């Protein structure tokens, strides 16, 4: 398996486009994305656990209830959430897409992201559809990746090549997500394509299982979004024998999926609103995965710890504090903590107590833009990784006037 270029257009039979249609005021920002498969594909998706959900989620759930889809349409700049006509607008987006592409309206995955509680006018979407379809291309993933961004500062786009039954398969993904990120799914949207052949049931099983260790292990600000969705289309055009049971090919498919989701998750975490650093918590020595997971997420979610990372302050007591209130069943007298970056590693806590260390060396390590906090619970063999970022002044500035 290896990483390749091409994003969602890397797999056979997928074309994409992204344009500015007028939803966003800034005409330099794309705000409407489209991905279309040459043939109907197996489809699966997972959604936010927030009780308040964007209208597109309800429409998408209904559309792919039969396990198939052929296109994805997504706008940015407006979440189409908490609107009286939200479902009607989301349904119209599918119908307009169908009329312009020839894909059945019930085979369209629809998504929206942006401000909550503002009516979404269908007019710019309808008016922009001709251009959106005319610009569809088999090498146009980047424009689609840009069109789904809101407060993101960088596009998130990856692809991987892998082999199933002697056939080369490809998988690609694009994502948006910068703030309001705290999965149980995060304003995070992810669209994944693959030319591998796999049944809808196993596609959903692979996606759901992967999300527990990838997307549900990110936190930027502790706010679970209303519009989070991760969707996958698998059109089978690679020609492999369809995966219908949990065999070696299924394991290879899951590995490829994990390669894509890990890249997307790191990109989302590093691009947190106002962030200057990617922060990852690697927990080892857990008595089970649930314990390790709980500890890792508690550390990454700690506002005090995140603020310390912004200041490059090796305040390891905030790590222990977060572990202590996490609810995980751990022996605090066994915990070791160290910090790592490209500048090296420094141990700051051993057996639940501080050890002498150089503040100057610690500062040098923590001034880097990618930081790892290593937590060893010394109580088993289970591991977990959670990802987030530092908490900066700019996060407050961005969200202080996000709507206006």
334, burial (CB in 10 Å: exposed 0-12, middle 13-18, buried 19+): middle
* Dist CA 121 CA 123 (whole Å): 5
Q: What Å distances lie between residue 241 and 168, 199, 244, 347, CA to CA?
A: 12, 11, 9, 50
Q: What Å distances lie between residue 211 and 35, 47, 291, CA to CA?
A: 22, 11, 17
CB 81 within 8 A of CB 227: yes
Q: Work out the number of other CB atoms within 10 angstroms of the CB of residue 382.
A: 17
**Closest by CA position to 39, among listed 197, 202, 187:** 197
6, burial (CB in 10 Å: exposed 0-12, middle 13-18, buried 19+): buried
Q: Which helix (H) or strand (E) holds 347?
A: strand 344-350
187 assigned to active site: yes
Residues in a beta bridge with 172: 159, 193
Catalytic hit among 81, 187, 193, 226 = 187
Half-sphere exposure in the Cβ direction for 384 (13 Å, CA): 28
* Dist CA 147 CA 142 (whole Å): 9
Unique residue bearing structure tokens 């401000």: 115
Residues in a beta bridge with 176: 189
What's the farthest any 2 CA atoms get from each other in the chain?
Answer: 68
Q: Which helix (H) or strand (E) holds 179?
A: none
The SS3 assignment for 292 reads helix
By annotation, the residues acting in catalysis are 187
């Amino acid at each position: 398996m290896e990483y390749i270029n091409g994003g969602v257009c890397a797999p056979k039979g997928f074309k994409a486009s992204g344009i500015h249609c007028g939803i966003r005021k800034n005409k330099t920002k794309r705000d409407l994305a489209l991905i279309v498969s040459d043939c109907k594909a197996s489809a699966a998706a997972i959604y936010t656990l927030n009780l308040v959900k964007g209208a597109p989620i309800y429409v998408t759930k209904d559309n792919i209830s039969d396990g198939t889809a052929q296109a994805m349409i997504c706008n940015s700049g407006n979440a189409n959430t908490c609107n009286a006509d939200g479902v009607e607008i989301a349904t119209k987006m599918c119908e307009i897409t169908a009329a312009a592409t020839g894909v059945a309206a019930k085979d369209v995955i629809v998504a929206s992201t942006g401000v909550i509680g503002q009516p979404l006018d269908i007019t710019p979407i309808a008016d922009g559809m001709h251009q959106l379809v005319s610009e569809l291309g088999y090498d146009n993933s980047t424009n689609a990746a840009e069109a789904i961004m809101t407060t993101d500062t960088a596009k998130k786009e990856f692809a991987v090549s892998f082999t199933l039954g002697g056939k080369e398969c490809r998988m690609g993904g694009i994502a948006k997500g910068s703030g309001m990120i705290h999965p149980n799914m995060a304003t995070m949207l992810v669209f994944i394509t693959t030319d591998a052949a796999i049944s809808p049931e196993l596609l959903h099983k692979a996606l759901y299982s992967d999300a527990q260790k990838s997307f549900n292990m990110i936190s930027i600000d502790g706010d679970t979004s209303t519009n989070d969705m991760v969707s996958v289309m698998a059109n089978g055009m690679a020609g492999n024998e369809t995966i219908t049971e949990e065999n070696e090919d299924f394991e290879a498919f899951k590995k490829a999926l994990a390669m894509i989701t890990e890249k997307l998750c790191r990109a989302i975490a590093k691009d947190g609103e106002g962030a200057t650093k990617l922060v990852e918590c690697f927990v080892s020595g857990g008595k089970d995965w649930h314990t390790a997971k709980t500890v890792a997420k508690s550390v990454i979610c700690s506002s005090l710890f995140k603020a310390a990372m912004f200041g490059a302050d090796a305040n390891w007591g905030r790590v222990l504090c977060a572990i202590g209130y996490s609810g995980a069943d751990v022996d605090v007298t066994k915990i070791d903590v160290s910090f790592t970056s490209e500048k090296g590693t420094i141990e700051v806590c051993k057996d639940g107590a501080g050890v002498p260390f150089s503040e100057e060396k610690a500062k040098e390590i923590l001034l880097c833009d990618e930081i790892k906090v290593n937590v060893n619970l010394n109580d088993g063999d289970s591991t977990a990784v959670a990802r987030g970022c530092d908490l900066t002044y700019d996060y407050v500035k961005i969200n202080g006037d996000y709507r206006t």
